[in-house]
Structure 1
Amino acid sequence: MAWLEHTLRQYPEIAVFLSLGIGYWVGGKSFKGFSLGAVTATLLAAIAIGQFGITISSNVKSVFFLMFLFAVGYGVGPQFVRGIAKDGLPQALFAVFQCLLCLVVPVAAAKVAGYDVGSAAGLFAGSQTISASMGLATDAINRLGLPADEAKRLLDAMPTAYAVTYIFGTIGSAVILATLGPKMLGINLVAACKDYESQLGGGTELGGAGQAWHQFELRAYRIATDGPVVGMTVAAAEASAPTGSRLFIQRLRRGGAIHEATLDSVLKAGDVVAVGGRREQLVALLSPKGNEVDDPELLAVPVEGVDVYVTSKAVDGKTLEELAHLPGARGIYLRRIKRGATETQIPILPKTKLHRGDTVTIVGRTQDTTAAAKTLGVIDRPTSVTDVAFVALAIAVGALIGSLVLRVGAIPLTLSTSGGALIAGIIFGWFRAIHPTFGRIPEPTVWFMNSVGLNVFIAVVGITAGPGFVTGLQQLGVSLFLWGIVSTSIPLIIGMFIAKYVFRFHPAILLGVCAGARTTTAALGMLTEAAKSQVPGLGYTVTYAVGNTLLTIWGMVVVMLIS
């Protein structure tokens, strides 16, 4: 043990990686559906390792925290801007009210309890499960001009308060929203979601990845001599399908030769046609009276499923029903819609609207998906290359702007380098959503910047605060935990009633709106499970973008209010 202590003091970088390794391993374990998560587990591991009295340069956490904040802003940028500017305004406005509640209640609790600035900032971060706020709170405390030992005492108190209040912050918020919320508001989630789906013209979506049943198929049929489509053009034959059916003739074999089907191709008796569409429609409409044949060569059509990043103004706000009638939609089927930084899955319903910044997965022939992608935006093909120049310069510009200080009398006003990086991420993330020709950051890289960037910051905080953690816990432990319950519960309960009676959100999305404003993904997971539907996610994305931004900034505001 003495050798380990000496080694970690001599090489503090080992302590950081040891904290991460233990944190991610323990945080990935779950018991009856609950897990600490990587952030809390890393913090606790770092606090334990920090008992050795290890010194780490503060520049380490600053670098990784700027990287993390930029990734957060980059991810939520498109939804944040759209939510503020367009039809998400009521949800965005509610998120502001919810975030104000989440600020006022913990600050009031800290003042009543008589906590210092560090404990107050930790109480806020833990009870609202917004660990990123501790970074801005750290900057704010360092700017108070306190003696070094006093500033260190306050900074060491922050992770103590965070660790004590975080557990209920996570579990409690999920239980309040997903279990108590429907009962308190008198909402039948399952019925409400079915009603919402019916309003959007939807039904149950079957099938999925990894299943033997495939939603979309391509089958070959021989046209009989007296077939109803004999003499019709391909366009007329496709239009003759019953309302609600989308069947497309992709190719045809005539006289032993294979031809690509065009809209003005005339069908003849004896032709073998390759027809694509939903399995249930092919079975119901063609199989009973069609002469299905096995023609591997005809069916050897290059088909792909690709992700398309929606950037077009022409399709922004359009329903899927409207988009299905566009020329570029021929032969294309929609498999998935993902929205926001959390990649919330949006139900595929006729009245569902597409927005810029959405990622849609489409299926069809390569030439059809390429044509559709030009209408919707750009194909987002998998790549491992990151535009590092864009990332580095954007963070540098944001941090430079954030470092500026405006003095109003004796009061210094500043975004701080952290706030500047966050704002830069939002702006550049939104700009890339409109012009995706530069600044690409692949999803795995965004995850790395988000998760590892934050957890390195948390590890350094925990290691530095380790020696004072036990003392702080002994002094404030029980009362801090109870005040954490108050700070978590009251804003959520008040927020739910405001969402119902003031903003009058539909019951199906109301609790999803609340979960997004509090950035509690665990609650959204419980809500969709209880609702047996993805509909609650429709209220999550805009409020998450606003909530994630404001709650992070509140870390600095808490310090200003308490100090």
Structure 2
Amino acid sequence: MIGELLKAQPEIALFASLALGYFIGSFKLGPIQLGGVCGTLIVSLLLGQTGARIAPDLKNIAFALFIFALGFTGGPQFFANIGRGWRYGLLSVVEIVSVVVLIMIAVVLLGLDPGTASGLLAGAATESAVIGTASEAISKLGLGDAETTRLQANIVTAYSVSYLFGLITIVLFTSQFAPLLLRVNLREEAERVWRKLGGSGALDEGQRLAAPPLVGRAFKVVGAAGVTVGALELQYGGNLTVEQVERGGATLPLEPQLTLAAGDLVLVVGRRAALVEASPHIGDEVGGEQVGPVMGERVDVVLTLREAHGLTISQIRERASPEEGRGVYIAAVTRLETTVPALPNTELNRGDVLTLVGTKTDVARGAKRLGYVLVATQKTDFVYLGLGVLVGMAIGHLGGRIGGVSIALGTGGGCLLSGLLFGWIRSHYPLVGSLPSAAAQILKDFGLATFIAAVGLSAGPDAIRLVHQYGIALPVAGILMVLIPGLLSLWIGRVFLKLETPMLLGAIAGQQCSTPAISALVGVTGNSTPVIGYTITYALSNILLPLLGPLVVGLSGKFG
């Protein structure tokens, strides 16, 4: 009865897969969480036994939207990290080369077909987008419909089997095993790096909320009497600003040459560490009812200033003139939808979203200097979006033979490359191509989940057959494809690249595109220093790994 209903109305099977899949994926066992995509795949594989099928056109449209949005949001960071972030980027190269070599070894030893090989790559590398690019590459091999369907079913089955083992392995490796191999206390190392970057201590999330990095205080001047406003601010490296001076009940015009007098009431805002240091030298702290309104202006700005790329927050402040930098503070840095610690020695990249805090006038001046204000909008430029997908489809027709191996980008690879290009254009010319982050996230989440549900439903009985055929070989291969690249990156990053341990482990999580791994790392370290390494390798691997789908299909077809 249920089977007949699902076959007659496959949209019920689609949304049942999404709802139940994301419900199952929401459960956590320690740091391990399957996630909605893997949960959707498991449910759709089960429902696929009923014979329910989704039209191929819907599957292709969903994947095209997902992969374009992936490239669009990652484009600015991808190009920003090519070259300048070479030390971390090298780890992504290690990941790419080693997994291709390991896949080819598995193809030869186990006799894997192109579908199983690419599914193993997708699962072990925890990169779901490979399913789409490999699936499309298989459809272009010129095989019969039955054989094409079988190989595409093998992709999702191999992915579902190897994904869980790959996920568990990368989480445990980065947060537990690697620190033991390096013989370091990860929490102490993270605290040391946090202080090196200019943080006031190894603060976890709760402590950071209780002690915000940007604060305001009101003082009755004692020790700072006779000092000008400009000299006081310069003494502490521009990390604090005098926003108001009151003398005898009257507010004085504020200018750098104004000399403070004993008994003046001054309102000072800035970085907490600077204010703590300056407090004894200024005077006695008093109640400051005006602190909130002064610090109340918060604006998100996309960093486009070319000279700022690769500079630390403190270097940007040092290079700015006193008039440009006065009263402007970077409260947060967001990179690839991930928060990076906004510490004095944190390096910034073009495309970062900086949260500026200060007075309205100061913030507007800083935003104009650093980039453009990220205006909150709910409108999507569908002209830009449609044109981008069309260009991607045109690029997808490109292909050829390399060393006797036939490789075609397909719509997936083409839309990924066009998304990169259109995202980069948008970052340089912000007046065109509006795609709000929430809208882009919906395209990515719903597009990928719909695609995964469609291919899972189509897998049908082939899934069970493949599991019986290879047994534990796929899980073991999935574990090795995480451990070997991880160990290589750990050795190279530690011995040759001299990377700090928290950033190195974060970069290894990023080269695997593993969000659960970086979440576990942040929990173990107690601060967000691993995120600095994670964002760079994630930006690169998230783009490069999907492009391996057609390559693995071509190579496994030749050597399998």
TM-score of the alignment, normalized to the shorter chain, above 0.5? yes
Contact 1:252 1:272 (8 Å CA) reproduced: yes
Distance 1:115 1:283, change over 3 A: closer
1:154 to 134, 141, 151: 151
Further displaced range: 454-463 or 110-119: 110-119
Distance 2:282 2:120 in 1: 69
* Residue of structure 1 equivalent to 2:509: 515
- Name the aligned partner's letter for residue 336 of structure 1: A
- Which residue identity is paired with 1:541? T
1:288: how far off? 8.5
What is the CA-CA distance between 1:310 and the residue it aligns to?
0.7
1:313: which partner in 2? 306
8 A contact 1:185–1:497 mirrored in 2: no
Letter in 1 for 2:487: I
Distance 1:476 1:38 in 2: 26
Aligned match of 1:450: 444
Alignment partner of 2:354 out of 360, 364, 367: 360
Instruction: Tell me the distance in 1 between the aligned counterparts of 2:484 and 2:292.
Output: 60
Amino acid at match of 1:57: A
For residues 50 and 97 of structure 1, what CA distance do their matches in structure 2 show?
37
Q: 1:476 to 1:207 in 2, by over 3 A?
A: closer
Cα distance in 1 between the residues matched to 2:24 and 2:204: 34
Q: State the secondary structure of the residue aligned to 1:314.
A: helix
Displacement of 1:427 in angstroms is: 1.6
Counting matched residue pairs gives 553
Residue 230 of structure 2 is matched in structure 1 by 235
Q: Is the contact made by 2:510 and 2:536 (CA closer than 8 Å) also made in structure 1?
A: yes
**Higher mean C-alpha deviation, range 413-422 or range 506-515:** 506-515
Residue 38 (structure 2) aligned to one of 37, 40, 43:
40
Output the CA distance in 2 between the equivalents of 1:509 and 1:409: 38
| 2:58 is the alignment partner of 1:57 | no
1: CA distance, partners of 2:411 / 2:16: 28
> Is 2:271 aligned against 1:303?
no
Structure 2 residue matching 1:514: 3-state secondary structure: helix
2:90 aligned with 1:98 = no
Say yes or no: does 1:128 pair with 2:131: no
Contact 2:31 2:516 in 1 (8 A): no
Amino acid at match of 2:489: G
Structure 2 letter corresponding to 1:104: V
1:525 aligns with 2:519: yes
Shift of 1:105: 0.6
* Displacement after TM superposition at 1:392 (Å): 1.7
Q: Is the 8 A contact 1:310 1:377 kept in 2?
A: yes
Verify: 1:492 aligned to 2:486, yes or no: yes
Q: How do 1:42-191 and structure 2 match up within 5 A?
A: 42-85=40-83, 87-191=84-188
**Structure 1 residues 201 and 56: CA distance shift in structure 2, 3 A:** closer
Instruction: Return the match for 1:251 from 241, 244, 251.
Output: 244
* Larger deviation, residues 92-101 vs 275-284: 275-284
Deviation of 1:462 after TM superposition, in Å, equals 0.6
Q: Is the 8 A contact 2:205 2:527 kept in 1?
A: no
Select the residue among 331, 335, 343 that pairs with 1:335: 331
Superposed displacement of residue 289, structure 1: 6.8
In structure 2, relative to structure 1, the CA distance for the partners of 1:61 and 1:281 (3 Å cut) is: same
Listed one character per residue, the Cα deviations across residues 78-119 of structure 1 (whole Å, up to 9, x for unaligned) are 22212223x212322331122110121123113211222222
Give 1:63 shift.
0.7
SS at match of 2:499: coil
Cα distance in 1 for partners of 2:216, 2:18 equals 48
Point out where structure 1 has 5 or more consecutive residues left out of the alignment.
none
How far does residue 257 in structure 1 lie from its aligned partner after superposition? 4.9
Q: Return the alpha-carbon distance in structure 1 between the equivalents of residues 413 and 146 of structure 2.
A: 25
Instruction: Give the partner amino acid of 1:469.
Output: A
Q: Aligned in 2, Cα 1:459/1:320: closer, same or farther, shift over 3 Å?
A: same
Q: Cα distance 1:281–1:50, how it changes in 2: closer, same or farther (>3 A)?
A: same
Quote the Cα distance in structure 2 between the aligned partners of 1:253 and 1:133. Answer: 63
With over 3 angstroms needed to count, the CA separation of the structure-2 counterparts of 1:554 and 1:117, relative to structure 1, is: same
- Provide the residue aligned with 1:377 in structure 2: 371
CA distance in 1, matches of 2:407, 2:181: 42
Is the aligned partner of 1:263 residue 2:244?
A: no
Distance 1:30 1:206, change over 3 A: closer
* Aligned residues: CA RMSD: 2.8
Taking every aligned residue pair, what percent have the same amino acid on both sides?
Answer: 35
CA contact (8 A) 2:230 2:257 kept: yes
The answer as to whether partners of 1:403 and 1:414 remain within 8 angstroms in 2 is yes
Which consecutive unaligned segments of at least 5 residues does structure 2 have? Answer: none
8 Å CA contact 2:102, 2:481 repeated in 1: yes
2:146 aligned counterpart, secondary structure: helix
CA contact (8 A) 2:224 2:281 kept: no
**What is the rounded CA distance, in whole Å, between the counterparts of 1:279 and 1:496 in structure 2?**
36
1:108 corresponds to which letter in structure 2? Answer: I
| Greater mean deviation of Cα atoms: 22-31 or 296-305 | 296-305
Change (3 A) 1:147 1:431: same
* Cα distance in structure 2, aligned partners of 1:408 and 1:286: 68
Aligned partner of 2:480: which letter? V
Using the size of structure 2 for normalisation, the TM-score is 0.90
**Cross-structure match for 1:274:** 267
String of CA shifts for 1:274-315, please: whole Å, max 9, x gaps. Answer: 322345655664478735555757975472122221111132
The equivalent of 2:468 in structure 1 is 474
- Checking the alignment, whether the CA contact within 8 Å between 1:118 and 1:155 is kept in structure 2 is yes
Alignment of 1:380-395 (within 5 A): 380-395=374-389
Q: Deviation per CA, 1:484-504: give whole Å up to 9, x if none.
A: 333332232233223333444
The answer to whether the Cα contact below 8 Å between 1:208 and 1:215 also exists between their aligned partners in 2 is no
- Please say if residues 68 and 451 of structure 1, whose CA atoms lie closer than 8 Å, have aligned partners that are also in contact: yes
1:464 aligns with 2:458: yes
Offset at 1:207?
Answer: 8.7
The one-letter code matched in structure 1 to 2:255 is: T
Which is worse superposed, 287-296 or 117-126? Answer: 287-296
Deviation at 1:398, TM superposition (A): 1.6
**Displacement of 1:407:** 6.2
Greater shift, 267-276 or 382-391, is seen at 267-276
Q: Kindly provide the amino acid, as one letter, of the partner of residue 319 in structure 1.
A: T
Would the alpha carbon gap of residues 289 and 22 (structure 1) be closer, same or farther in structure 2, given more than 3 Å must change? same
Alpha-carbon offset, residue 25 of structure 1: 1.1
